[in-house]
Amino acid sequence: MPYLLRKFLILLLTLWVAVTLNFILPRLVPGDPVGAMIARYQGKLDPSAVDALKLAYGLNDQGGLLGQYFAYLGKLLRGDFGRSIGQFPTPVSEIIAQAAPWTIGLIGVCTVLAVVLGSALGLYSAWRRGQPLADALPPLALFLNSMPYFWFALLLLYLLAFKSSVFPLSGGLDPFLTPHSPTWWVSLLRHATLPALTIIVTSAGGWLITMRNNVMGVMSEDYIAFARAKGLSEGRILNRYVLRNALLPSFTAFGMALGFVVGGSILTETVFSYPGLGLQLYNAVTNLDYPLMQAIFLYIALAVLIANFVVDALYALLDPRVRDGKAA
């Protein structure tokens, strides 16, 4: 299918750009990058860690920049992301493997909930245009969508964990619980509630606005006028005519939105010390753990790209025009 093939090629290209940025960035630091990094640790660094750092940046190779680049690509293809400096000598991939499920679970569930909630409210706001509640929703959504993630997270933390301790202050689980036992599940959910609430409240606003715009666009189409003239019931028009068409552009918006949500979740995890990739990234940044930082970036990029590709494939399933290779 040419459409999916094209999307896949763009995925590969984007991945290559991310990988290459990763290669270039350390080399943008003026002078000797490893030297500059080591200087920042002010001598607190293990000599073997220094070697690992040199190895990670291919600076022990005597080859030119191009040689270093290919060596770097080769290592990536073997899944070798080097060793963490901050938690030396744990391999970076191990740290990621531990943290990733937390983030994927949190973002995955929250994104689905935010999309459903936001789109439903957006649909309501457009469909019942002119009613007070429907008209009050968009400005509210704009405000929620403009809040800094971490700020809202801090407020929730202060009100619901610090002041009233309804929810735990930090972490992902209480210690010493039997995995998958009822208490374990309760603890998991209690820890996830505030981070999830943060992500859902701040991102659902964006979906509301997107959906509202789409619905308004669809409602001005000729096929809606025709459907009304046919005497179709409101429910049918809403379901088969408005919703089916208005959901499609939301899919294109999904890719961009996902990037924002991932960014937001990094901050949210930091505030709640939720043990996912965001917290690891934050720790890596504060510990100047460059290999970990870069690997997390690559991992996040890859995950977002794959999610995007899946959405593009779904889009092709839902829109007959795309299936036939015509631009929608």
Partner 1 sequence: MKGLLTILRRSPRAAFGVGLLAALLLLALLAPLLTPYSPTSQAFGTWLKPGGEHLLGTTALGQDIWSQLVYGARLTLLIGFTAGLVATAIGTALGLSAAYFGGRTDEAINVLINVFLVLPGLPLLIIASAFLRGGGVWSIILVIALTGWAWGARVLRSQALALRNRDFVQAAIVSGERPARIIFAEMLPNLAGLIAAGFFSTALYAVLSEAALAFLGMGDVSQVTWGTMMYWAQARGALLQGAWWWVAAPGLCIALLGTAFALVNFGIDEVTNPRVIHEARATRVLRRNRAAPQAEPALEPPQPLLAIRHLSAGYVTPQGPVRAVRDVTLSVAPGEFLGLAGESGCGKSTLAFAATRLLDAPGVVFDGEARLAGQDLLALNPAELRRVRWKDYSLVFQASMNILNPVLRIREQVYDAMQAHGVQDRGRLEARARELFALVGIREDYLNAYPHQLSGGMKQRVVIAIALALEPKLVVMDEPTTALDVVVQRQILQEIDAVRKRLGISIVFITHDLSLLVEMSDRIAIMYAGEVVEEAPAHELYAQPKHPYTRRLMGAFPPLEGPRERREGIPGRPPSLAQDIPYCPFFERCPNHLPGTCDVFKPARVEVTSGHSVACFLHSPAVKEEAYAAD
Partner 2 sequence: MPQTEPHARSTAKPNAADEPAPALILEGLTKVFQVGRSGRSVTAVNNVTLSIGRGEVLGLVGESGSGKSTIARLIAHLHEPTSGAMCLAGKPVPRQLRGRALTRFRKDVQMIFQDPFASLNPLHTIGYTLARPLEIHGFARKGNVQAQVSTLLDRVGLSPGASYAAKRPHELSGGQRQRVVIARALAARPELILADEPTSALDVSIRLDIMNLLLDLRDQEGLSMLFITHDLAGARYMSDRIAVMYAGYLVEIGPAERVIGQPQMPYTQLLKRAAPKPEGNLNAGGLEAPGEIPDLANLPPGCPFEPRCPHARAVCRAGLPRMYDVGAGHQARCILHDPELAAQPLLHPALQPHATL
Query: Smallest distance, Å, CB 6 to partner 2?
Result: 7
Query: Shortest gap between Cβ of 215 and partner 1 (angstroms)?
Result: 10
- Three-state DSSP class for 91? strand
Q: Of 178 and 220, which has the nearer Cβ to partner 1? A: 220
283 near partner 1, rule: CB under 8 A: no
Cα–Cα distance measured from residue 132 to residue 32, given in angstroms and rounded to the nearest whole number: 62
DSSP 129-151: TTSHHHHHHHHHHHHHHHS-HHH
Interaction of residue 324 with partner 1, rule CB under 8 A: yes
Give dist(CA 283, CA 273) in Å, integer. 10
* Minimum distance of partner 2 from residue 322's CB (angstroms): 12
Residue 73 interacts with which of partner 1, partner 2, none, CB < 5 to 8 Å by class: none
Contact with partner 1 (CB under 8 A) among 258, 279, 291, 315: 258
Residue 83 three-state SS: strand
User: In angstroms, what is the minimal distance from the CB of 4 to partner 2?
Assistant: 13
24's CB contacts (< 8 A; 6+ apart) are none
CA-nearest of 155, 125, 104 to 277 is 104
- Percent helix, strand and coil across the chain, each rounded to 5? 75, 0, 20
The binder of partner 1 chosen from 35, 89, 101, 320 (CB under 8 A): 320
**From candidates 23, 251, 274, 290, binder to partner 1 by CB under 8 A:** 290
Binding piece for partner 1, criterion CB under 8 A, among 94-102, 105-113, 117-125, 244-252 = 244-252
Answer yes or no whether residue 6 interacts with partner 2 by CB under 8 A: yes
Binding partner of residue 105 among partner 1, partner 2, none, CB cut-off 5 to 8 Å per kind:
none
Phi-psi region of 91 (alpha: psi -120 to 50; beta: other; left: phi over 0): beta
Cβ(167)–Cβ(194) below 8 Å: yes
Distance between CA atoms of residues 116 and 119, nearest Å: 5
Which one-letter amino acid corresponds to residue 256? Answer: M
CB 306 to partner 2: min, Å? 23
Q: Does 77 bind partner 2 (CB under 8 A)?
A: no
Among 162, 244, 325, 328, binds partner 2 (CB under 8 A): 325
Q: Which residues bind partner 2 (CB under 8 A)?
A: 2, 6, 325-327
